[in-house]
Structure 1
Amino acid sequence: MDLEVTATQMRFSRIIEEYLRNSTLHGARFIVDKDASWIERIFWVVCLVVSWYASWLLIKASLSAFENNAISFVVESSFRDWNTNFPAIIVCESKNMDRIQEVAEQLWGADHDFTLEEVLSEIAFFRGESYHTVHECSGEEVTASCFYSNFSYYAELVRSSCVDSISKCEWNNKPFECCKYFHRMETELGICYAINSMQAGKPKSPKLNMFSNRISGPGALKMELHTEATVFILGTEEVPTLVTPKTDFLVVGPYISFVRYISKRDIENDEEIRQTSVHQRNCRFADENILDVHKFYSYSACTVQCRKDRQMELCNCSSHLSPNSPDWQLCNMDGLECLNRNYEDLSVIIAQWSKRRGRKGLVCDCLPSCTEVDITTVYDSKENLVGNQNPVSRIEVGLIELPTERYKRNLVRGKLDLVVSIGGTTGLFVGASLLSFEEDEVVRDIQLFVKAMPQHSAELAKEEIFQKEAWLYDTLLRKMQTFSNIKWSADCVYTRNDLMVLEDIKLQGFRAAGSTELNEAHMKQLIESVASFHAASLVYEHRTKTNIGQTYGDHLLEITVASEIAWFTTGLSAVLAAIRSLPQYQGTDELSFIDNKLLTIVEEIYEQAAPSKKYRNVLCHRDLWAGNIFFPPEKTGPALLIDFQTCRYTPPASDLNFSLYLNLCSRERKKMERKCIDLYHTHLLQNLSDFGLEELMIAKSELLESYEEFRLFGVVYRAVVATVVKVPAEFVTNDFKYVDRSKVILSYMKTNQEFRTHMEECCVDVMEMALSRANV
């Protein structure tokens, strides 16, 4: 037996020794190296233990960061194309003595005990307390004709219908049928009527389009109410509760006109947020519902559920107004007396620590909604309705302005990031790897290029631009490349909002031109790539039956050329100042033209930045200067395009003008212009023919006509770009880019002859173009 144990131990020892000798773990083979001294072996054992321990600490930190810091909040300000949803407006009747008297007479006759009207009022508009009901209808001395159960029935008898409550509705001054869009909504305040609420009505109930944007302007809702009511202004998933903050509702009564203007900030969620757990993001989406009382989750709906659960715990029943509750759960008179007795414990929501100090209230472990909104009252007014004979109130609720900011919840540490982090840690400290790439026993290295956004970007607009490019690489460009036999961009391996992993095209010998001006051979390679890129756009649209502009317009927003983009307008002002300083334009007529007409003409470029209604549109790169073009090691074959941040859905002529104006001086451009256009047309036809789609070809006449029209774009953009890329880097501060660069440009033109020559050439092109357009 001892010999067998010894043999087993020896076999096990040999297996361990063999494993360590051939292992890729750092230092493992030195531990069993028979030629090494015992000091060396101990050294490597210590190193191995320290490496494993360090690896464990980093893995533990990665797991902790993944669980507790996976989400980041930023503020977005790219508001130009937002569609802002109006808040939910919920009308809850709060008092109606006429209706109470009418119902009381139906129940008990005209000569009834009037204390029963107080009882009926408390039942119909129950707010947690029922002093009169308990006093009159419980105990030894009870009022005759009291009712002791089925309270929800009597409450509904009293409450007014939608038609009797709301009339004369208008959205942006356009009338609509009130009760077609104000839907019934069960709340813990009783039956209410809500418009634009997820919680109200049935799934197929008609919905009013209440979005506001640059075209419609800030939205406003007007209506008249025929009863005393509370008007709640909430997020679309929120519900009225007993403890809704006073800032979120209006208490309205007859003969009064109420006006409230609000500002609204939404929360946008990155698409990958859905991959995280509720614990990680610390919020719930509306469809992640765990409640019985409402169809969709929200913080307020959760507090209603919390109150109902506590009522069931204390009194074995819930309020007769508890929404969507079965009859057997609703309180009778004994239960109502219990609710009244525990009013202080049920009415107020308090924190856990406050409960421990003995304060009475309700502790609710409710998470916020992932899409909750921030609504702030900006303006409130209340005026008497003079001369109005009917007991109505007029309500107007509107956005004071379109939002310019919104919050965004981004995923910064996803599951893949966790795997990469753990894999990198074990690879660095331990030498362990889950994957190896081998073929015929030859190890292959894969080298990639990582493009990352700064961890803490000072300019939010740059984050949005980076995310636009990441989205393009991950979706549209990847799909388009499959419809092209010519490769015109680097392959993308992985993207997320703050990082892109691309193939390293420099390893294949691709290089930038090394000069801001291209030669004829380079221009031919560029034109071939641009034509292939545009052809892929046309083929993709045809094969997928997709209009890129309509389907992906939200991802292709203008980021460089617009009247509200300070980088461009500041540069344009500098160009106009430079033109005005040139000696050849000091005549009276020239100065008058510069001061009164030039700006209006060059601002036509803003229209050319948008999709055309006249010419065929394709996905255009829109930043084809030498730094964004990489050429193959051989002098033939297409170039590769990089930096797709400025992509827009516009006519091909915009890319053609960019290619020629940004990469050639005026003399070379005039010499090569027609040759490049002809070459582009030839390559475009060839690419479309490869897929048997010659019918998609853009006519030469349309191409030439659009090129002439878009020449203004190339001329002006070249001049504006020169004010940034042709000056020393230390000049380009934030003030220079976004506030004023005219003084610096004029000063540099006086001290640097090379810059003056280039700037003067750009300015002359702009002036000649403007004069020719003015004379058309």
Structure 2
Amino acid sequence: MDFLNIPSKFCEDLAQKIIGEKCTVMNCTLEPLGDFKCGFMGEHSILKISIKESDQVLRFFLKSEPRVAMMREFADATRLFFKEHSFYHKIIPEFKKCNIQEMEDVVPTSYKYEKPNILFLEDLSLKNYTIFDSRQSLVSGFVNSALSTFAKFHASSLIYEEIRSKAIGKQYRLIDDYKNELKESFYGHTIYNVRSVDSTTKGIITQIDLFPEIEIENRDEFKSFVVNIWKNVNEFAKPSLKYRNVICQADPWITNLMFKSGDEIKSKLIDYQMIRYAPPAQDVISFLYLCTTREFRKTHLKSSLEYYYAELKKILEKYEIDENIVSETDFWDSVKYYEPFGMVQNLNHSHMTKLSPSAVKKLFENPFALQKFIFEDKSESLVKLCDENVRYKEKQKECILDFLDNYN
């Protein structure tokens, strides 16, 4: 654990908090999570604390800054760890004071540590929660579970704002107290954001040309159509002036959800580095594009959205809150507005998230290739990756076809 400089006193206090009484820590070890220990924006490990009195070994999920220098610089510039630490230890405690159970149902427990660039979380695998391979797609039961989780997550913001508004006798919004915490990170205006958008812009043009078999009446015009949506992502990411905003998870791809199977499939959201203040439809439509197949969406997109809204409405009714704070008309209007954002999120994310584990490992082990892919021009890599992996290429084609449906 030396590289993180975690004090033994913290491990002792953490162990005592879990056990509920004074105990002696025999040993603390930190083990990489899986063969490839780096997340895209963090390093993931398991902390094990051995207890003398009971021979018990406590386990915690630990998230720390990326060791890869350029990713660490990106995380620092966009304040990803500040946002996540603030979510767990500033925002969540306020929700708890208002007895909003729904938020606690879907968010892991976090144990406060003095350094915001290291997070200690409960190890959900001990409760039989598992994570999908990033290249997989969800089917109906898991989709509905995730949509219920998003409904609880989003409803919690609405409930909290209504409770606070009533208490102070005037309109209250979360952005009033948490402007810095909810400031856009991934689609902001740092040099890293700008360079990343430029790299993907070049990649989009190359990606469309990878599929000459797709019939497009005016290919150059279609490229401009897709690129213009992509270049407008920072506008989509802003708080809406038209629709009611909530705290959005903002990065709802498949490995940011964990599922527990059984008579009822349960799920939790596990990453809050990119939280933003935006309408709930933004999260939901992005999730459906990022985590399901094109064929699933053709059949189930509308019914999935209906299911989500019904779940949201049910929770608001439980707290005796007028469902019209997110009216059905506003919800469907906002879905229509944010669907291009969901598609372009899917396109951008799929360049990285649909890579095989070996391809990700290879990319992160080569700083020059990684920098070129993320911050310069991913075109060359996209061509090579599609040549090497049919499954990867098919996913990239799906993304183009989604746009073509909305272009024609």
Q: Does TM, normalized by the shorter one, top 0.5?
A: yes
| Pair 1:598–1:518, CA change in 2 (3 A) | closer
| Pair 1:746–1:688, CA change in 2 (3 A) | same
Which residue of 1 is the match for residue 396 of structure 2? 759
Q: CA–CA distance in 1 between the matches of 2:215 and 2:143?
A: 37
| Pair 1:585–1:499, CA change in 2 (3 A) | same
| Pair 1:661–1:452, CA change in 2 (3 A) | same
Alignment of 1:256-335 (within 5 A): none
Residue 123 (structure 2) aligned to one of 492, 497, 504 = 504
Q: Secondary structure at the match of 2:112?
A: strand
Shift of 1:467: 2.2
Which residue of 1 is the match for residue 45 of structure 2? none
Shift of 1:669: 1.3
Q: CA–CA distance in 1 between the matches of 2:240 and 2:56?
A: 48
| Pair 1:734–1:681, CA change in 2 (3 A) | same
Which amino acid in the other structure matches residue 373 of structure 2? F
| Pair 1:478–1:522, CA change in 2 (3 A) | farther
Residue 537 (structure 1) aligned to one of 150, 153, 157 = 157
Which residue of 1 is the match for residue 328 of structure 2? 700
Residue 75 (structure 2) aligned to one of 451, 462, 470 = 462
Q: CA–CA distance in 1 between the matches of 2:66 and 2:386?
A: 34
Q: CA–CA distance in 1 between the matches of 2:11 and 2:139?
A: 45
Which residue of 2 is the match for residue 583 of structure 1? 212
Is 2:59 aligned against 1:447?
yes
Q: CA–CA distance in 1 between the matches of 2:203 and 2:187?
A: 15
Which residue of 1 is the match for residue 88 of structure 2? 473
| Pair 1:615–1:437, CA change in 2 (3 A) | same
Is 2:83 aligned against 1:493?
no
Which amino acid in the other structure matches residue 561 of structure 1? Y
Residue 614 (structure 1) aligned to one of 230, 242, 249 = 242
Which amino acid in the other structure matches residue 267 of structure 2? A
Q: Secondary structure at the match of 1:619?
A: strand
Alignment of 1:238-257 (within 5 A): none
Alignment of 1:373-772 (within 5 A): 417=7, 419-420=9-10, 427-428=25-26, 446-453=58-65, 459-463=72-76, 464-480=79-95, 482-485=99-102, 487-495=105-113, 496-514=115-133, 516-545=136-165, 546-562=172-188, 565=193, 566-584=195-213, 590-594=218-222, 596-695=224-323, 697-727=325-355, 728-729=359-360, 730-731=362-363, 733-769=370-406, 771=407
Which amino acid in the other structure matches residue 100 of structure 2? F
Q: Show CA shifts across 1:83-104 (max 9, x none).
A: xxxxxxxxxxxxxxxxxxxxxx
Alignment of 1:28-47 (within 5 A): none
Q: Show CA shifts across 1:642-670 (max 9, x none).
A: 01111110011111112210111111012
Shift of 1:443: 8.4
Q: Secondary structure at the match of 2:266?
A: coil
Which amino acid in the other structure matches residue 703 of structure 1? F
TM-score, scaled relative to structure 1: 0.42
Which amino acid in the other structure matches residue 766 of structure 1? F
Which residue of 1 is the match for residue 31 of structure 2? none
Q: Give unpaired runs (5+ residues) of structure 1.
A: 1-61, 63-411, 430-435
Q: Show CA shifts across 1:693-713 (max 9, x none).
A: 135641112111111110001
Which amino acid in the other structure matches residue 122 of structure 2? E
Native 8 Å contact 1:575 1:763 kept in 2? no
Q: Secondary structure at the match of 1:692?
A: coil
Shift of 1:625: 1.4
Q: Show CA shifts across 1:471-492 (max 9, x none).
A: 1111213433541346011111
CA RMSD of aligned residues (A): 3.1
Native 8 Å contact 2:62 2:119 kept in 1? yes
Q: Secondary structure at the match of 2:61?
A: strand
Shift of 1:449: 2.2
Q: Secondary structure at the match of 1:553?
A: coil
Which amino acid in the other structure matches residue 448 of structure 1? F
Which amino acid in the other structure matches residue 480 of structure 1? F
Native 8 Å contact 1:605 1:712 kept in 2? no
Q: Give unpaired runs (5+ residues) of structure 2.
A: 16-23, 28-49, 166-171, 365-369
Alignment of 1:141-152 (within 5 A): none
Which amino acid in the other structure matches residue 537 of structure 1? S
Q: Secondary structure at the match of 1:512?
A: coil
Native 8 Å contact 1:484 1:687 kept in 2? no
Q: Secondary structure at the match of 1:710?
A: helix
Q: Secondary structure at the match of 1:554?
A: coil
Shift of 1:516: 2.0
Native 8 Å contact 2:145 2:265 kept in 1? yes
| Pair 1:604–1:421, CA change in 2 (3 A) | closer
Shift of 1:720: 1.0
Which amino acid in the other structure matches residue 326 of structure 2? I
TM-score, scaled relative to structure 2: 0.76
Native 8 Å contact 1:572 1:720 kept in 2? no
Q: Show CA shifts across 1:606-628 (max 9, x none).
A: 21111111111111111111111
Which amino acid in the other structure matches residue 131 of structure 2? A
Q: Secondary structure at the match of 1:583?
A: coil
Which amino acid in the other structure matches residue 746 of structure 1? V
Q: Secondary structure at the match of 2:277?
A: strand
Native 8 Å contact 1:685 1:697 kept in 2? no
Which amino acid in the other structure matches residue 314 of structure 2? Q
Q: CA–CA distance in 1 between the matches of 2:95 and 2:11?
A: 32
| Pair 1:437–1:652, CA change in 2 (3 A) | same
Q: CA–CA distance in 2 between the matches of 1:748 and 1:557?
A: 34
Which residue of 2 is the match for residue 316 of structure 1? none
Which amino acid in the other structure matches residue 243 of structure 2? Y
Q: CA–CA distance in 2 between the matches of 1:597 and 1:743?
A: 22
Structure whose residues are more often helix by fraction: 2
Q: CA–CA distance in 2 between the matches of 1:676 and 1:703?
A: 13
Q: Show CA shifts across 1:429-462 (max 9, x none).
A: 8xxxxxx999xx9887653322223579553332
Which residue of 2 is the match for residue 134 of structure 1? none
Q: CA–CA distance in 2 between the matches of 1:752 and 1:612?
A: 39
Which amino acid in the other structure matches residue 499 of structure 1? I
